[in-house]
A and B are shown apart, each in its own frame.
Chain A
Amino acid sequence: MKLSSLPLRAIVASVLLATAAVAEHTSNWAVLVCTSRFWFNYRHLANVLSMYRTVKRLGIPDSQIILMLPDDMACNPRNAFPGTVYSNSDRAVDLYGDNIEVDYRGYEVTVENFIRLLTDRVGDETPRSKRLLTDDRSNIFVYMTGHGGNEFLKFQDAEEIGAFDLADAFEQMWEKKRYHEILFMIDTCQANTMYSRLYSPNIIATGSSELDESSYSHHADNDVGVAVIDRYTYYNLEFLEAHVQDLSSKKTIGELFDSYEFDKIHSTAGVHYDLFPGGEQAARSRLITDFFGNIQNVEVDRAKDLALEEELVQLSKTIAMLRKREAEEDAAYNNVSSIPASVPTAPPRKIQGAKALTEDDWWTKKVIGATALAGCALLWGVGSFLEA
């Protein structure tokens, strides 16, 4: 009994998954934000550029990546390797390469611009490259890094975004149907406090460190003379490089989260999926490529196809049956000869025409008309008499 029930369950599960796949996203977007400038914050820019490289590697096109960089490390005179940014002291990959599209740069990276971007409350003159043109079928990966504190993230030594601001922005996005699911990732001191105020559904959030904990840099490049990457980002990238080599990867978000270890990151990475439909189970089972990759379900699964066809046949049968019943009812009412049930026909059209006079009270109507005319003539006569 048990043995026979197993394949049955598998079938049920596959059917369920298939229906879930119907509700999946149709586009992938990434919002990558570095909030600090100045040479000694080199690592924050390197963090973001590493993420940029990763999402591009997994197929999200530049048109769907919003990259915010407040400073230009590649052209900083202090850079011993002009025109490059590296996130590892082996300097194997130049993150600044020759194909970088920075959408918000320098002093354009502000809290206001960030929130306007998320909520799409932008002016008419805003170019498409600076807009997040998502809909309710878009999965968004939001990555932020900089200097933060308890429930805030500093933007460029000038202002900060609060956890409530961020939560409200996400809620507005949800109300405007601007996302399907969001993966929010943040690497800063006390990062986990930044997502503590979220109250919108369909968001998976993760941060590098909890309240009163600092986030640390991973290592410094002694020729560049600064730290080049943060620990949390470094180990995220390590996982992504090792296990998510292309879009066929079946690694889940849960597996990525499980790879976070205090010994490596030196701070307590946090995860959050309170308001995710299906809770922890569903959130953890999401594929990493759902957020980091540009998934477009072109190749359709066979089992899913069959089910769909069956459903369609079923549906058309039901429709046919309903039409037949309707036709029968009509026939019974109008006492008209039946129409073949199998042929769907258009329902008889009713056109509103001019209504013909019936014979019933012909004389009465004529008398009323004559009286009205006589009355009018009488009125004219009296009027002209009085005038004279």
Chain B
Amino acid sequence: MPRLLSTALSLRRDPRLLRIPPYVSAFCIAIGVVWLLLLPLDDYSRRTYVSENALLPGQVHTYFGGSEQHIFRAFRHEVDLLADKNNYEVNDKLESILTGFGVKVGRQNYTYHSAGQKYTGENVYGILQAPRGDATEAIVLVAAWKSIDEQLNRNGIALVLTLARYFKRWSLWSKDIILLLPPDSTTGTQAWVDAYHDAHDSKHVSPLPLKSGALQGAIAIDYPHEQRYHELHIIYDGTNGQLPNLDLINSIVNIAGGQMGIETTVQQMTGHTDSYQDRLQTMLRGMLYQGLGYPTGPHSSFIPYHVDAITLQPTGEGWHDEMAMGRVVEGSFRSLNNLLEHLHQSFFFYLLMQKNRFVSIGTYLPSAMLLAANFTIMAIFLWVKSGQPTVKDVDSAKEKNDGMEHKGDAAQASWNPLAVERNLLSPLTFVAICHSISAIPLFVFNHLGLNTLPLAFLIFSVASTVLPAIFSFAAASLQKSTLQYFQLTKSFSLLILGVSLATLSTLNFSLAFLVGLLASPLTFIRPTNSVATRGIFAMLLIITSPPIVILTTAWTSGVTLTEVLKAASLGWNVWGMYTPIVIWCMWWPAWLVGMTNTLSPISKA
């Protein structure tokens, strides 16, 4: 044992050991990516199952249908008449309809400002009190006047009104049912949910005149689709990549598929063949939406408040009608009505790769963690290395030793290299400067008006590319840029990146993974005096720089830059989306340090 220990200790000082970490880093990245690609396989993913006993999905007969269809048509006619009216006129009418069947109605005004634009509207909502319930809990049925694609949610509104009238006749509700009809799919629900939990900014959002109990779940209907539909698209991504409990999705899949015979899809994957490619594509789409952290529907605002919510969107051409949709909602509400406590049994962290196949956090987390670990390993390696003399230093030290000391000491020096004093002030200052100036893009992009935003972004992109050159010139003129200086700046910057990404991966796995992957070249670039290598490194870094990645993504997905910037600003100002912080305050400073290092020539010691 002691021999083993001493061998291990001598191995610690082995110079060969210091060559390993960069390979370990590369290995971590490779494994992380391969890990992700393995997830869609049967051996790594699991079939979904309903784990909450109380839900009992699909065990009830649903009676919505028959003469309700006439009522539905009548309401749709009413909605058509209101199509060109303004928000207040629409709400007047909706209020009179809701009060007509004995539902208490409340209205709420809100005004948001973002990117120099004003988002204003009035929510109308009704509370259908449970006749035998105790009013301590409520479930929400949402239909926004404007659908996710900014169309008139004609069938959705009519269906909610019909269902409200129908639900009113049942006496078996244990929870109040809230019918929420916001003017749009994005800001309205956010204002309402904030106000419901008294977490609203009273300067912009007015409080709710009427409330019920704790929200247990919400289902939004996004139904501008006019023909008979083929399948139900379940949208489940919440703000900042938070997800509703998997049991909610499972129940809806179970009710729609098992009871009504309606196909369900996730992530717009129509015609999913359950092949590896389809599973992978579904998962990657899910990761992209999760990584963006942008709300995907009226349900998204509920999820940060731990209210499990989804949006149901009929799509495709088929033979299912509005009544079938109504029955799915009825069945789901009966299931939610059975709940005795918040959904908690099933997973909150998962990646869906098919409506009934998923991987849970325990299985997928290592891939993002490995990517984050690669930065940390490299940071520690550089820290160790910065404390060791360069080859030339060792040689000169050896010469000195030979001249002055005994041979025994010289032999000792050969395995115990001299430690070099680390000059910490300038690297720390530089990394601190890079991180503090990251507040500039964060502030600018979230406060500028829409007309100046694209221009500002382009200027910033150019500035971001030029800035490293200026920094490297300034650093070179202020002090002698030794190799140790570069090693230390890179070490600190990667350390921060590694720690932040590891933390982020537990909150928003996809964002951490994507940023980790895009930032991975930072691990391998190093200052060099070879112009060709430096050029290659610089090109690689410019391609993976945050502004360029944003521009390329916007360009490839066919969205204008203005749209992207507007959405990012709206996300920050209305939904508290933290993706801009991750991009500008975590990724961009690390990139800035890496790029500066690449451009700087090493001065001779």
A222 to B334, CA, bound (A): 11
Tell me which residues across on chain A come within 8 A of B334, comparing CB atoms: 225
Residue of A at shortest CB range from B61? A222
Count chain B CB atoms within 10 A of each CB in A38, A39, A76, A78 and give the residue with the most: A78
Interface stretch of the complex, out of B166-174, B301-309, B311-319: B166-174
Once the chains bind, are B60 and A225 in contact (CB under 8 Å)? Answer: yes
A20 → chain B, closest Cβ, in Å? 48
* Complex interface: chain B residues within 8 A of A77 (CB): 130-134, 172-174
Q: Whole-angstrom distance from the CB of A121 to the nearest CB of chain B?
A: 33
A353 CA to B174 CA, complexed, in Å? 89
B337 touches A78 (CB 8 A): yes
Q: Pick the most buried of A39, A79, A222, A225: most chain B CB atoms within 10 A of its CB.
A: A225
For B55, the closest partner residue in chain A by CB is A40
Residue numbers in A under 8 Å from B130 (CB-CB):
77
Q: Is the CB of B59 within 8 A of A223?
A: no
Residues of B within 8 A of A226 (CB): 56, 59
Asked if A220 contacts B172 (CB within 8 A), the reply is no
- Any chain A CB within 8 A of the CB of B281? no
A82 at the interface (CB under 8 A from B): yes
Q: Does B54 contact A (CB under 8 A)?
A: yes
Q: How far is the CB of A193 from chain B (nearest CB, A)?
A: 22
Do B174 and A78 have beta carbons less than 8 Å apart? yes
A80 close to chain B: CB less than 8 A: yes
Complex interface: chain B residues within 8 A of A227 (CB) = 59
Q: Decide if the interface of chain B is mainly helix, strand, loop or mixed.
A: loop
Whether B54 pairs with A82 at a CB distance below 8 angstroms is: no
Distance (Å) between the CB of A147 and the closest chain B CB?
10
Report B125-149 CB contacts with A as 1/0, cut-off 8 Å.
Answer: 0000011111000000000000000
B340 within 8 A of A: yes
Within 8 A of B (CB), among A26-40: 38-40
Interface of A is mostly: loop
Q: Which residues of A contact B173 (CB under 8 A)?
A: 77-78
By a CB distance below 8 angstroms, the chain A residues around B60 are 222-223, 225
Chain B positions within 8 Å of A220 at CB level: 59
B56 surroundings in chain A (CB, below 8 A): 40, 225-226
CB-contact partner of B53 in A40, A80, A222, A225, under 8 A:
A40
Asked if B59 and A225 make an inter-chain contact with CB atoms under 8 angstroms apart, the answer reads yes
**Binary A-proximity of B186-228 (CB < 8 A = 1, otherwise 0):** 0000000000000000000000000000000000000000000
| Cα separation A39 to B60 with both chains bound (whole Å) | 14
Number of A residues whose C-beta is below 8 Å from B? 15
A window 196-236: CB within 8 A of B: 220, 222-223, 225-227
CA of A293 to CA of B174, assembled, Å: 40
**Cβ of B338 under 8 Å from chain A:** yes
Closest to B133 in A: A77
Task: Find out whether the CB atom of B340 lies under 8 angstroms from the CB atom of A38.
Answer: yes
Question: Nearest-CB distance from A70 to chain B (Å)?
Answer: 14
Which residues does chain A contribute within 8 Å of B53, judged by CB atoms? 40
A78 and B61 within 8 A (CB): no
On whether the beta carbons of B59 and A78 are closer than 8 Å, the reply is no
Q: CA of A39 to CA of B52 in the docked complex: distance in angstroms?
A: 13
Per-position binary interface string of chain B over residues 320-355, scored 1 when its CB falls under 8 Å from any chain A CB and 0 otherwise: 000000000000001001101000000000000000
Contact with B along A39-51 (1 / 0, CB 8 A): 1100000000000
How far apart are A42's CB and chain B's nearest CB, in angstroms?
Answer: 10
Complex Cα–Cα for A4 and B339 (A): 73
Closest chain B residue to A80 by CB distance? B172
Known A39-B338, A78-B172, A78-B174; contact A223-B61, beta-carbon cutoff 8 A = yes
**How many angstroms from the CA of A77 to the CA of B171 in the assembled complex?**
8
Interface membership of chain A positions 59-79, coded 1 if the CB is closer than 8 angstroms to chain B and 0 otherwise: 000000000000000001111
Question: Which of B25-60 touch A at CB < 8 Å?
Answer: 53-54, 56, 59-60
Closest to B172 in A: A80
Query: What is the distance, in angstroms, from B262's C-beta to the closest C-beta of chain A?
Result: 18
Interface residues of A in 296-343 (CB under 8 A from B): none
Q: Are A76 and B338 in contact (CB under 8 A)?
A: no
Cα distance, A77 to B130, chains bound together (Å):
8
B174 touches A76 (CB 8 A): yes
Give the CA-CA distance A80 to B54 in the complex, in Å. Answer: 16
Contact B54 A38 (CB under 8 A): yes
B340 / chain A contacts, CB cutoff of 8 Å: 38-39
Partner of B54, one of A39, A79, A223: A39
Residue-wise, chain A 136-170 has the 8 Å CB interface mask toward B (1 for contact) of: 00000000000000000000000000000000000
What is the chain B residue whose CB lies nearest that of A39? B338
| Residues on the A chain within 8 Å of B337, using CB | 78
Assembled-state Cα–Cα distance A80/B82 (Å): 37
Per the 8 Å Cβ criterion, residues 462-504 of B in contact with A are: none
Distance in Å from the Cβ of A164 to the closest Cβ of chain B?
28
| Contact of A222 with B174 in the complex, beta carbons under 8 Å | no
The smallest beta-carbon distance between B159 and chain A, in angstroms, is 22
For B52, the closest partner residue in chain A by CB is: A40
B305 CB to nearest A CB, Å: 25
Question: A residues within 8 A CB of B132?
Answer: 77, 82
Q: Which residues of B contact A40 (CB under 8 A)?
A: 53-54, 56, 338
A77, A223, A226, most chain B CB atoms within 10 A: A77
Docked Cα-Cα span, A26 to B303, in Å, equals 64
Whole-angstrom distance from the CB of A148 to the nearest CB of chain B? 15
Chain B 54-71 residues near chain A, CB threshold 8 A: 54, 56, 59-61
CA distance A77 to B59 in the complex (A): 17
Compute how far the CA of A72 lies from the CA of B140 in the bound complex, rounded to whole angstroms.
27
In whole angstroms, how far apart are the Cα atoms of A220 and B56 in the complex?
11
Q: Residue of A at shortest CB range from B337?
A: A78
CB proximity of A91 to chain B, nearest CB, Å: 13
Q: Which of A82, A222, A223, A225 contacts B338 (CB 8 A)?
A: A225
Within 8 A of B (CB), among A51-103: 76-80, 82
B446 to chain A, nearest CB (A): 47
B170 surroundings in chain A (CB, below 8 A): 80
Q: How far is the CB of B102 from chain A (nearest CB, A)?
A: 18
User: In the assembled complex, how far is the CB of residue B164 from the closest CB belonging to chain A, in whole angstroms?
Assistant: 18
Query: Which residues from chain A contact B134 at a C-beta distance below 8 Å?
Result: 77
Nearest B residue to A81 via CB reads B172
For B586-599 the 0/1 string (1 means CB < 8 A from A) is 00000000000000
Q: How far is it, in angstroms, between the C-alpha of A107 and the C-alpha of B477 when the chains are bound?
A: 80
Contact indicator per residue, chain B 103-136, by CB within 8 Å of chain A (1) or not (0): 0000000000000000000000000001111100
List 7 A-B pairs, minimum CB-CB distance, nearest first: A77-B132, A225-B60, A77-B174, A222-B61, A80-B172, A77-B133, A40-B54
Q: Which residues of B contact A (CB under 8 A)?
A: 53-54, 56, 59-61, 130-134, 170-174, 334, 337-338, 340
A-B contact pairs, 9 of them (CB 8 A): A38-B54, A39-B340, A40-B54, A77-B131, A78-B172, A82-B171, A222-B60, A223-B61, A226-B56
Q: What residues of chain A have their CB less than 8 Å away from a CB belonging to chain B?
A: 38-40, 76-80, 82, 220, 222-223, 225-227
Further 9 A-B residue pairs, CB within 8 A, beyond A39-B338, A80-B171, A226-B59? A40-B53, A40-B56, A77-B132, A77-B172, A77-B173, A78-B173, A220-B59, A223-B61, A225-B59
